[in-house]
């Protein structure tokens, strides 16, 4: 095994190495440091060489700065942020009650809103595209079979969303598709999940009654 390079006096971002640490962790060599923020600690060679730049204070500062930037999580989540988190939950978490009607049938969120862009978080991009959630409205997709993205979303009242569900989800062509899939063996529960409507609506279509 080669001789361990002495890092005493070396600087890694905000960290000044002050000597070899007595901390033991397998074969990893640990070094005591003093951070520019005043905190003292230790870290091993591999972590320092991989890019550690602070005791953790820098990450915390970035988090605080991000919260202050959009102001939607300080002192409790804002209505806009709650809508954003609910959108993510129903698309990405199978344990979420509505998942089968969203992520379960292939609806996704655009990368810009999910992962962020140009140094901004996904929520910051969402906020920039959609603005703050107006009172009495929630996020709605113009094409209910389309994805969550700037060109397919708006803030809408529940009444408007209900009209959208009836006129867009249940066109005559879709009603015909429901009858065909039922004839092919699909259950009413499966059809309700597939077309994001209630079982009562499915029964109305199958019975030849109006669903509007």
Q: What is the pLDDT of residue 47?
A: 84
Question: Which pLDDT does position 82 carry in this prediction?
Answer: 86
Q: Over 60: is that where the pLDDT of 64 sits?
A: no
Of the residues 55, 72, 87, the one at which a domain ends: 55
Residues 122 and 140 in one domain: yes
Query: 15 with 94, same domain?
Result: no
Across 158-173, average pLDDT = 58
pLDDT of residue 202: 82
Q: Is residue 2 part of a domain?
A: no
Indicate if 47 and 68 belong to the same structural domain: no
Q: Which of 12-26, 102-116, 158-172 has the lowest mean pLDDT?
A: 158-172
Residues 43-77, buried b or exposed e (16+ Cβ, 10 A)?
A: bbeeebeeebebbeebeeeeeeeeeeebebeeeee
- pLDDT score recorded for residue 165: 53
Q: What is the pLDDT of residue 187?
A: 85
Range of the structural domain that residue 31 is part of: 11-55
Decide if 84 is inside a domain. yes
> Do residues 158 and 175 both lie within one domain?
no
The more confident residue out of 123 and 170 is 123
Which residue would you say has higher pLDDT here, 132 or 77?
132
CB 117 within 8 A of CB 125: yes
Helix (DSSP H) and strand (DSSP E) numbers for the chain: 9, 6
Which range is most confident: 22-36, 100-114, 192-206?
100-114
Say what the pTM is: 0.47
**Is the pLDDT at 59 greater than 70, yes or no?**
no
What are the angstrom distances between the C-alpha of 83 and each of 28, 95, 116? 45, 18, 17
Same domain, 65 and 158: yes
Choose among 86, 90, 101, 180: nearest CA to 144.
101
**How confident is the model at residue 149, as a pLDDT?**
94
Q: Is residue 212 part of a domain?
A: no
Residue 101: burial class (beta carbons within 10 Å; 0-12, 13-18, 19+) = middle
* Averaged pLDDT of the chain: 79
31 - beta bridge partners?
Answer: 20, 43
Dihedral angle, C-alpha 87, 88, 92, 96, nearest 10 °: -60
**Residue 3 within any structural domain of the chain:** no
Cβ-contact 148, 106 below 8 angstroms: no
Kindly report, residue by residue over 42-56, the tens digit of the pLDDT. Answer: 888 888 888 888 887
pLDDT of residue 75: 57
Q: How large a percentage of the chain has pLDDT more than 90? A: 12
Provide the pairing of β-strand 30-35 with 40-44: antiparallel
Does residue 6 lie within any of the structural domains?
A: no
Same structural domain, 100 and 126: yes
Per mean pLDDT, which range of 77-86, 127-136, 193-202 is the poorest? 193-202
Read off the DSSP letter of residue 14.
T
The structural domain count of the chain equals: 3
H or E segment and range at residue 139: strand 138-141
pLDDT band at residue 12 under the 50/70/90 scheme: very high
Helix axes 172-183, 199-206, angle to 10 degrees: 90
Q: Is the pLDDT of residue 66 over 50?
A: yes
């Amino acid at each position: 095994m080669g001789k361990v390079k002495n890092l005493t006096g070396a600087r890694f971002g905000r960290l000044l190495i002050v000597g070899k640490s007595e901390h033991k962790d397998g074969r990893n060599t640990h070094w005591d440091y003093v951070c520019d923020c005043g905190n003292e600690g230790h870290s091993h060679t591999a972590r320092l060489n991989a890019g550690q730049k602070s005791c953790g204070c820098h990450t915390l500062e970035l988090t605080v700065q991000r919260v202050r930037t959009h102001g939607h999580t300080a002192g409790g989540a804002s209505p806009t942020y709650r809508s954003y988190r609910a959108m993510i939950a129903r698309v990405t978490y199978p344990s979420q009650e509505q998942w089968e009607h969203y992520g379960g049938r292939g609806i996704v969120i655009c990368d810009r809103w999910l992962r962020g862009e140009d140094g901004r978080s996904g929520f910051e991009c969402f906020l920039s595209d959609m603005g703050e959630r107006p009172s009495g409205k929630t996020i709605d997709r113009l094409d209910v079979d389309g994805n969550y993205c700037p060109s397919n979303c708006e803030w809408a009242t529940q009444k408007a969303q209900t009209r959208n569900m009836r006129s867009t989800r249940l066109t005559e062509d879709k009603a015909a598709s429901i009858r065909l899939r039922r004839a092919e063996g699909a259950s009413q529960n499966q059809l309700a999940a597939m077309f994001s409507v209630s079982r009562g609506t499915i029964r109305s279509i199958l019975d030849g009654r109006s669903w509007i």
